[in-house]
Amino acid sequence: MRAVMAEQQVDVLLLSVGADMPYFCGYEAMALPRLTMLVVPRDGDARLIVPRLEAPRVEERPGVFTVVAWGETEDPIALARSFIGSASVVAVGDRTWAGFLVDLVKLLPGVEFRRASEVTSPLRSVKDAAEVESLRAAAAAADRVAVDLRSGNIELVGRTEAEVSAELGRRLLAEGHQRVNFAIVAAGENAASPHHEAGERVIKPGEIVLCDIGGTMMDANGVGYCSDITRCVHLGEPPADLVEAYDVLFEAQAAQVEAAVVGQPCQEVDRVGRGMIAEAGYGDNFIHRTGHGIGTEAHEDPYIVEGNTQELRPGHAFSIEPGIYLPGKWGLRLEDIVVAAPDGPDNLTTTDHHLAVLDA
């Protein structure tokens, strides 16, 4: 991290809540109003500022950081300020509460503030072999739930989206995840809303059910890696227009996975599928980017989106999840997690990609 700080001429890095701090020092700040902050000067000792009552949670890492606990009546921002010294460029964790940043800006006039992701993201987005295996294990666990869904082992008709969502969450945990990050269940016209929140709507025969699920699974070192998969099932024979659209989506998604090779600019992967979907007449119905990076966070760099000219490197892990959405009618999405590897795209998601047609 210090090498990248030097390259980018960042004098001090400040990390707080979010995925950066645990990735680099093994401790995750509680997302609470009291300040936790890792202060990393480029050429000095790192300090982990923590509320005194949370200090017992910290596993000490001599040589990595020194713990500085602050009491209830102390000013943690002043403490952070004292360790920043005469820095002229300070990078702040992207998820740090805005209130703390506002206070720091006041105390450090003339200092240039940047996003810490400029330093952390090049490091976090490229996964080493062990991280890829952790992602593979999480993907396999999510796959097992998706296989159950597709084979009709999960009751759908007559239940509410919320009930099915809760069951998918329980199954993610039973398959080895420690945390459920989301379990989108969207039936019929609700599937046209990509981030639909599962609700009290009862699932009926003759409908599409879109399920997008993911969780966090701890590896042997206690570091959590995320899964994310989307599959659609149809309850009874699907209408012709839906089948036609699904075929387009299926081909586009497969072409995008194939295009996710080392050296390929992220935006090209997006274009490959978007072009096919547009050519089939659904251009206006694919309303989001193709995908997001995935690792210790469910959504991180690199983003597979128009405008991202970054080239895929070995170890980049990301979703490929195009969708076609017809407001008021139905929606379709198909999502895999793929790693760019020297010998071609490594698709961690193995569940059958066809539309599952279940008895209704």
Return the axis-axis angle of helices 76-84 and 98-107, rounded to nearest 10°: 50
CB nearer to Zn ion: give 91 or 317.
Answer: 317
Name the one residue in this structure whose structure tokens are 């599959």: 231
Give 7 or 352: the residue with its C-beta nearer to Zn ion.
Answer: 352
Look at residues 327, 318, 320 and name the one whose alpha carbon lies nearest to residue 282: 327
CB nearer to Zn ion: give 27 or 318.
318
Closest separation between CB of residue 142 and Zn ion, Å? 9
Cα angle: 172, vertex 157, 170; to 5 degrees: 15
**CB of residue 214 to Zn ion, shortest distance in Å:** 6
Which lies closer to Zn ion via its Cβ, residue 131 or residue 300?
300
- Nearest approach, Cβ of 194 to Zn ion (angstroms)? 6
Site string for Zn ion, 285-324 (x = CB under 5 A): ----------------------------------x-----
Q: Closest separation between CB of residue 23 and Zn ion, Å?
A: 20
Give the nearest distance from C-beta 293 to Zn ion in angstroms: 10
Q: Shortest gap between Cβ of 138 and Zn ion (angstroms)?
A: 13
For Zn ion, which is the closer residue by CB, 80 or 252? 252
Output 117 or 227, the one with its CB closest to Zn ion: 227
Binding to Zn ion (CB under 5 A): which residues in 79-108? none
Q: Which one of 64-72, 129-137, 208-216, 304-312 is the stretch in contact with Zn ion (CB under 5 A)?
A: 208-216
CA dist 228 and 247 (Å) reads 22
Count of residues of this chain found to bind Zn ion when the rule CB under 5 A is applied: 5
Q: Which of residues 317-336 bind Zn ion (CB under 5 A)?
A: 319, 335
State which residue, 104 or 138, has the beta carbon closest to Zn ion: 138
Residue with Cβ nearer Zn ion (103 or 143): 143
| Residues 160-199: x where in contact with Zn ion by CB under 5 A, - otherwise, as a string | ----------------------------------------
Smallest distance, Zn ion to C-beta of residue 318, A: 9
Spatial contact of 43 and 20, defined as CB atoms under 8 Å apart: no
Q: Is 212 in the site for Zn ion (CB under 5 A)?
A: yes
Q: Provide the minimum distance between the beta carbon of 228 and Zn ion in the complex, in angstroms, as a whole number.
A: 4
Q: What x/- string results for residues 222 through 251 when contact with Zn ion is judged by CB under 5 A? A: ------x-x---------------------
Residue ranges in contact with Zn ion by CB under 5 A:
212, 228, 230, 319, 335
